[in-house]
Structure 1
Amino acid sequence: MPAVVDDTTPTAVLLRRARLAGTPDPRRLRDVLLRDGRVAAVADHLPDDVARTHRPETVDADGAVLLPGLHDEHVHLAQWAATRRRIDVSAAGSPEEVARTLSTKDDGADVLLGRGFRDGLWSRPPHRHDLDAAMPGRAVVVVSQDLHTLWVSTAAAVRFGVTAPDGVVVEDEAMDLLARAGAVDAATNDEWVLEATAAAAARGVTSVVDLELAPLADWARRADVHHPGGLGVPGPSVRVRAGVWPEHLDSTLAAGLRSGDPLPGIVDPTARDRVRVGPLKLFVDGSLGTRTAYCTHAYPGGDHGMLRLPAAELEGWLRRATAGGLEAAVHAIGDAGVRTALDGFEAAGCGGRVEHAQQVLPADLPRFAALGVTASVQPRHAVDDRDLADHHWAGATDRAFPYRALVAAGADVVLGSDAPVAPLDPWDAVASAVHRSADDRGAWHPEQHLDLRQALRACSGGRSAVEVGDVADLVLLAEDPAAVLARDGADALRRPEVLGTLVGGRWTHRGAALG
């Protein structure tokens, strides 16, 4: 959905001597005028009377590379903000190692929160007794890397009412428990989330789809909050499309809110422009890491995962959302889950988004384009989960993370992180889409790589270059990504020097090099 610019807050910026990536001659120096939130002019040299007429802030880009701003199409901002403060156990290879790591880094908090365990290849499953042995009497809650499993100590089980004998819960119960265990007051939550958006802006992010399980009122409240890093503008440093979960659908429809609408009650016009209603989030299945993704093939244990929302029920939700003006974002990971999601869209006669699409049957690839369904994918997952996929999806990885096949079939593909499952960093997503490896083992299923132009377009709202009339959501880099890839390889794409970021022609990040 295109960004909407609020024209009540006119601004003007003149970027002198910028290079425009994605153009026929990306080395050519250009002047770019941004006015009232859009790209107003691009020329080899804009005359001095431009400054007299529009009174812009003039910035010498000094050969920096200008690109369309980057999007993260799937994040959980409150969880990402909180995860940045939890103990990382992602490197642990066993339950005992997780427990040791947590015990040595115990911060004394009321509830000790860890994050990132990956038990899919462990020799045995986690148990509450592992945490009890290392930290007797301590309330410990550990969330899995995919957010679909929670593992708790006995003290935490008693405190939060967990009845599972092993202290391990999955899916809805896990998500509800994490919301309670990780709860902080609203002011702290707002501070953490807004700080996270400033960090995202520093990586060139201009827009996110926030699929956090939270009421829209949370964003209406924090949109008027000033915070360090906000560069004088309250609210987030990025555009936010705030998702709606089924728990909040009735109130959203009753308020007459549609996807793309500004949230009511936001005072500041710039913040009101940035924060808008996003899609309705629905779940068809679970995840690979928790072995609940719904698949046509069996897992090693013999089951096929978990179907959380059959196509007939999904159709009902989709019809209701569409009638109320809400786009739908449907979580589907396994190939049977993706087919179920597509069946639901087809029956409801509407388009929308499939979130993740980590495994797609060949016959379903062309259905995305035919039905007008976007594939919202997270390339870092293909890097992180390759070993899990090889083990649990043995014999079926030829259809796993099929990015090139989706593009070749005409699907609209957009990139995200699913933060905190992966870092909120679009450069990591781009690099992972271009080359599916982050170590020295070589690429995994390289036939599904995207080329750099495809990856950047999928990460930029479909934009390939900066053009007159575009919304002035832009990022300035020290070097052209194409040159970096050609010289240093895909891994170097993860570490660009971001000099500045603008949203609607306003600076959201401005490095020292730009003055």
Structure 2
Amino acid sequence: MTDDVFLRRGRIPGHDGECDVLLADSRVRAIVPSGLVRAPAGAATIDLDGRFVIPGLWDNHVHFTQWSLLRRRIDLGLATSATDLLARLRSTLNALDGAPQAGGVGSIDPLQASSSSATPAAITPLIGYGVRDSLWPDTNALTATLLDTVSGERPVVLSSADLHGCWLNSAALAFYGLRGRPTGRLREDDCFALLRRLDDVPDLEADALVADAARAAARLGVVGVVDLEMRDNLTDWRRRIASGIDSLRVAFGIYSEHLESSIEAGLRTGEVIPDTAGLLTVGPFKIITDGSLNTRTAYCFDEYEGLEGQAHSHGLLTVAPDALLIALERASTSGLTPAVHAIGDHANALALDVFARLGSGGRIEHAQLVSDSDFSRFAELGVTASVQPEHAMDDRDVADRYWNGRTDRAFAFESLRASGAALLLGSDAPVAPLDPWQTMAAAVGRSRDGRPAWHAEQRISAQAALTASTNRLASIGVGMAADLAVVERDPLTSPADDLRAMPVAATFLAGRATHLAL
């Protein structure tokens, strides 16, 4: 019995004519003009009917547990002011209080907090996400006292869309032992610490949601993710793969709290973890050096509007350059590729300075605002730009306000590419959806929802976007891993709006179908 797959009558973007593709022993073994050879005996034959075959897609920056848990939380991303948010929150709380405790209302499940499902309903925290307050007319108005006016005794935690800030009501401050923070506003490391607690749900519950999210990703043509969740990702994914979650490859990130134990275990970036069916590999060492645009904590040379003269008016630098160098040296000399979170132009400049001192390459995650003189340094220093194009669509108005006069170098993907920098595309899910087609559409079109292209000069070609979404594979080829996607339209010639809704007919991981709609 063979597990070989023979794909008939497919097309390769950028090439004329139809071809047949043989998948065997987890590899692409042959690509020949269609009809030239017969399918091998016993091979499963699938007629692609002229559909397009591309390398399987990767999302190079996700927080997979948080992305998976979103369906258990309340989306408040459409709130346009603190007043509007309170009205939405009041409506949700009223629905929950009037619903049976075992199921929530509609898609809302109140048992989504870090406490156990046995927690009495009166103190079961409600968790909301997606808050974007940077353009609100009453920005900075959201406080614990204001949340208390609608929340009663139920703890409420709301996270910002960028995950760099959160708000708690008084009941939540008490519930999580944070009474010393009377405003209820947490940012950066304090926020991250709380988010980790919210993600600490029972393994069986979290893994069931992760399995669903992994299958959903496969339906989009995704074969792998770089999971930069702030958890013990090695333990999580070993357990998940052992339990049968097998529709994705995962390269897991390592944070400072796990750096020494990872080094002691001999982990090195790119190595496959034994007994995981080849699905789990060691990813980069991740370190966060500044904040974000929406939270006005990305570290910039210029002050933020409305914060002039105040403490942290330029944003927050959370790791000093000397400390960053020590951490990166420790990681890189042990075989772990550094991945540095830098969003503001000053944070990017300092990170590049450290890479220059380090003498070896790595990744900068986000690179949202870059000084003109720094674009060329990415390529010169061997630093890959790991960027998230959909953020440009989410944040264009925020950038126009808070980075006014500098947006020609914001989310500047073409400037990075033209300088010779290697690009990797991702979503930063749950900040943006785990959907490489939305990611590529944003990179290629720089527009969404019918709006004019924002800084159209920073669009990249469809080929560049596809290559940056497939672990730098421009096209399928003989000998490569049989990680493929089959799509209905040519991604190299489809308009950006069509890319955003690209139908995926099949996904193969090591030659095994993880999604098949043919």
Common topology (TM > 0.5)? yes
Give the CA deviation at 1:128: 1.3
Amino acid at match of 2:301: T
Q: Distance in 1 between matches of 2:71 and 2:411?
A: 27
Task: Write out per-residue CA displacement over residues 463-491 of structure 1, whole angstroms, 9 at most, x where no aligned residue.
Answer: 22211122211100112123432xxxx12
Q: Distance in 2 between matches of 1:283 and 1:89?
A: 26
Give the CA deviation at 1:130: 2.3
RMSD value, Cα: 1.5
Give the CA deviation at 1:48: 5.8
SS at 2:460 equivalent: coil
Q: Which residue of 1 aligns with 2:147?
A: 131
Give the CA deviation at 1:85: 2.4
Q: Distance in 2 between matches of 1:417 and 1:247?
A: 24
Is 1:254 paired with 2:241? no
Q: Which residue of 1 aligns with 2:156?
A: 140
Q: Distance in 2 between matches of 1:396 and 1:353?
A: 23
SS at 2:136 equivalent: coil
Q: Which residue of 2 aligns with 1:509?
A: 515
Give the CA deviation at 1:45: 3.4
Is 1:198 paired with 2:180? no
Q: Distance in 1 between matches of 2:425 and 2:37?
A: 40
Q: Which residue of 2 aligns with 1:152?
A: 168
Aligned pairs (5 A) from 1:363-378: 363-378=373-388
Aligned pairs (5 A) from 1:101-180: 101-106=88-93, 107=96, 108-109=110-111, 110-124=124-138, 125=140, 126-162=142-178, 163-180=180-197
Give the CA deviation at 1:33: 0.4
Equivalent of 1:217 in 230, 235, 244: 235
Task: Write out per-residue CA displacement over residues 227-281 of structure 1, whole angstroms, 9 at most, x where no aligned residue.
Answer: xxxxxxx2241110011010011111111111122234x3xxxx43011111111
Task: Write out per-residue CA displacement over residues 385-444 of structure 1, whole angstroms, 9 at most, x where no aligned residue.
Answer: 011111111121121011000010000011000000000000000000011121233111
Q: Which residue of 2 aligns with 1:33?
A: 22
Task: Write out per-residue CA displacement over residues 155-207 of structure 1, whole angstroms, 9 at most, x where no aligned residue.
Answer: 00111122222101001111111221343101111111121111101001111
SS at 1:33 equivalent: strand
Q: Which residue of 1 aligns with 2:435?
A: 425
Is 1:72 paired with 2:59? yes
Q: Percent identity?
A: 45
Amino acid at match of 1:465: S
Give the CA deviation at 1:46: 5.7
Q: Does the Cα contact within 8 Å between 2:2 and 2:43 map onto a contact in 1?
A: no
SS at 1:419 equivalent: coil
Q: Which residue of 1 aligns with 2:365?
A: 355
Q: Distance in 2 between matches of 1:70 and 1:45?
A: 25
Amino acid at match of 2:269: S
Give the CA deviation at 1:377: 0.2
Equivalent of 1:475 in 485, 488, 493: 485
Q: Does the Cα contact within 8 Å between 1:132 and 1:138 map onto a contact in 2?
A: no
Amino acid at match of 1:121: L
Give the CA deviation at 1:50: 4.4
Amino acid at match of 2:228: L
SS at 1:223 equivalent: helix
Q: Distance in 2 between matches of 1:48 and 1:365?
A: 49
Q: Distance in 2 between matches of 1:454 and 1:34?
A: 26
Task: Write out per-residue CA displacement over residues 287-331 of structure 1, whole angstroms, 9 at most, x where no aligned residue.
Answer: 001111000111111211111112221111111111111111110
Task: Write out per-residue CA displacement over residues 484-509 of structure 1, whole angstroms, 9 at most, x where no aligned residue.
Answer: 32xxxx12211111110011111111
SS at 1:457 equivalent: helix
Q: Which residue of 2 aligns with 1:284?
A: 289
Give the CA deviation at 1:51: 1.4
4+ residue runs of structure 1 moved beyond 3 angstroms?
45-50, 106-109
Q: Which residue of 2 aligns with 1:263?
A: 273
Q: Structure 1: which 5+ runs fail to align?
A: 1-8, 226-233
Q: Does the Cα contact within 8 Å between 1:335 and 1:359 map onto a contact in 2?
A: yes
Q: Distance in 1 between matches of 2:209 and 2:272?
A: 22
Q: Which residue of 2 aligns with 1:230?
A: none
SS at 2:430 equivalent: coil
Indicate how the Cα distance of structure 1 residues 467 and 69 shifts in structure 2: closer, same or farther if over 3 A, else same. Answer: same
Amino acid at match of 1:299: Y
Equivalent of 2:497 in 491, 497, 509: 491
Amino acid at match of 1:292: T
How many residues were matched structurally? 482
Give the CA deviation at 1:40: 0.6
Q: Distance in 2 between matches of 1:243 and 1:453?
A: 27
Is 1:294 paired with 2:304? no
SS at 1:366 equivalent: helix
Equivalent of 1:86 in 73, 87, 90: 73
SS at 1:507 equivalent: strand
Q: Which residue of 2 aligns with 1:45?
A: 34
Q: Which residue of 2 aligns with 1:3?
A: none
Amino acid at match of 2:499: L
Q: Which residue of 1 aligns with 2:47?
A: 60
Q: Distance in 2 between matches of 1:60 and 1:441?
A: 39
Amino acid at match of 2:150: A
Q: Does the Cα contact within 8 Å between 2:6 and 2:46 map onto a contact in 1?
A: yes
SS at 2:392 equivalent: helix
Task: Write out per-residue CA displacement over residues 325-373 of structure 1, whole angstroms, 9 at most, x where no aligned residue.
Answer: 1111110000000111111111111110000000111111111111110
Is 1:408 paired with 2:424? no
Q: Distance in 2 between matches of 1:440 and 1:327?
A: 39
Q: Which residue of 2 aligns with 1:229?
A: none
Q: Distance in 2 between matches of 1:251 and 1:495?
A: 42
Aligned pairs (5 A) from 1:385-464: 385-464=395-474
Q: Distance in 2 between matches of 1:61 and 1:78?
A: 34
Q: Which residue of 1 aligns with 2:105?
A: none
Q: Distance in 2 between matches of 1:191 and 1:250?
A: 30
SS at 1:288 equivalent: coil
SS at 1:235 equivalent: coil
Q: Distance in 2 between matches of 1:199 and 1:250?
A: 34
Q: Which residue of 2 aligns with 1:208?
A: 225
Q: Structure 2: which 5+ runs fail to align?
A: 97-109, 112-123
